[in-house]
Amino acid sequence: MEFELWWLLGIPVFFGLGWIAARVDIRQLVSESRSLPRGYFKGLNFLLNEQPDKAIDAFIEIVKLDPETADMHFALGNLFRRRGETERAIRVHQNLLSRPDLPLEQQVHARYELGMDYLKAGLLDRAEETFNQLLDSQYAVQARRALLEIFQREKEWPRAIEAALGLQEAGAGSRQKEIAQFYCELAQDALVHMHPEDALPLLEKSLQADRTNVRATLLIGDAQLAQGDVEGALLTWRRVEQQSVPHVALVAQRLMDGYTKVGRPQEGVNLLKSYLEQASSIDLIEVVFKAVIELDGVDAAKQLVSAELRRTPTLLGLDKLLEARLMDAPAALWSELSMVKNLVHGYTQKLARYQCSHCGFKARQFYWQCPGCSRWETYPPRRTEELNVMN
């Protein structure tokens, strides 16, 4: 009973202590808020109402009244950069760095923001120099990410590989897919300059970084073809099926040309038909369609397209079927069929796009790196209409 009595007496005591602590916190909060300039709250209100122009004006007034307010400088610089006024953002952060009394932590912060200003302005050499100065600071990971972006923009692939490895070592996540693509870029450049012997070791490193890299497999086949090894190239290209069945559409034309070159076109057609059964796509149909017309005639091509259209009904497939029908259409029907074909074809041009799965950027051709968001391997190997039908 004595224990329960003390417990009951302790409840109001604890309640009272909590009330006193809350009052102290509220008074401190009110005191701190009163010490802030009125313009701060005006600027904050404008930001919340998505009025950045008025927010900037309010923050500029604060900076004029109290030039020592570093936080206001940071807020103002970021607003300038977001609006694209990079010159003004650079001046704000340079002014901060010129202050001899600025604490070390804020100096590092200002240097990072200045680097971001340079990057946004496209002053890549200055941005690189600035971020290199931050590699031993608390902004090391952010600086390495920015350096990686810079090296990709400048197409300095060896330095991009080094930066990506540095990010991995810093614990910023795996960059193996990107590293594999950087090696592919180096190999692509070697192939363009007719040096397949230099491309092959780079592509092996690409596959070591990412065994599923379809692009590396395609380019290895290209390098073997450039060296005259057609059979070796065919064997290499066929490995794409093991890596990613949907990506066989990207290698279809290479395979058909290769089998034709070695005198076995029917083998090539049969292989591509088997791919159609696994992963039908309009790009694959396009290659098989042309090959079947040359080898087996128009009737066989029409049967092929009709079967694929029934299995995967798309306007892109209908456009291809109408093309086949026009090849042997009677003169009385040719005009009407041609008109329908032109109407359908005009509409399919809007659908025959590849679309980035990250940012939604659409393009007529397939990209390994999205031109919109610069991410790697974000384009599915199928056109947008085909993806919509599948979903």
Q: Has residue 13 been placed in a domain?
A: no
Q: Do residues 298 and 389 both lie within one domain?
A: no
Task: Indicate whether 273 belongs to any domain.
Answer: yes
Average pLDDT over residues 20-49: 44
In SS3 terms, 336-359 reads as HHHHHHHHHHHHHHHHCCEECCCC
Distance separating alpha carbons of residues 57 and 72, to the nearest angstrom: 12
Query: What's the pLDDT tens digit per position in 181-207?
Result: 999 999 999 999 999 999 999 999 999
286 compared with 23, residue with greater pLDDT? 286
184 is in an annotated binding site: no
pLDDT digits (tens, 9 = 90+) for 209-229: 999 999 999 999 999 999 999
- Assess if residue 2 is contained within a domain: no
Structure tokens at 205: 């490193």
Q: Are residues 231 and 299 in the same domain?
A: no
**Domain housing 375:** 353-391
304 and 361 inside one domain: no
Q: Are residues 274 and 324 in the same domain?
A: yes
Bridge partners, 172 (sequence order) = none
Q: What is the pTM of this model?
A: 0.76
Verify that 191 and 207 share a domain, yes or no: yes
Question: Could you tell me if residue 165 is inside a domain?
Answer: yes
> Is 29 a domain residue?
no
In a shared domain, residues 224 and 279: no
Weakest mean pLDDT among 89-98, 122-131, 205-214, 227-236:
89-98
Q: Is the pLDDT of residue 26 over 70?
A: no
Instruction: Decide if 15 is inside a domain.
Output: no
CATH number of the domain within which 201 lies: 1.25.40.10
Q: How many domains does the chain divide into? A: 4
138 and 91, same structural domain? yes
Q: Are residues 164 and 178 in the same domain?
A: no
Which of 124, 146, 172 is a domain's end point? 172
Last-in-domain residue among 172, 202, 219: 172
Q: Average pLDDT in the 109-132 region? A: 93
330 in the same domain as 272: yes
In this structure, of 105-109, 116-120, 272-276, 386-390, the range with the lowest mean pLDDT score is 386-390
Pair 178, 160 in one domain: no
Among 218, 243, 268, the domain boundary falls at 243
d(CA 250, CA 246): 9
* Number of Cβ within a 10 Å radius of residue 137: 16
Q: Quote the tokens at residue 24.
A: 């102290």
Cβ neighbors of 381 (< 8 A, separation 6 or more) are 244, 246, 247, 249, 250, 281, 283, 354, 366
First to last CA, the chain: 70
Instruction: For residue 118, tell me if it sits in a domain.
Output: yes
Residue type, 1: M
Average pLDDT, the chain: 80
CB atoms within 10 A of CB 130: 22
56 inside domain: no
Same domain, 300 and 342: yes
74 and 149 co-located in one domain:
yes
HSE at residue 150, side-chain half, CA atoms within 13 A, is 27
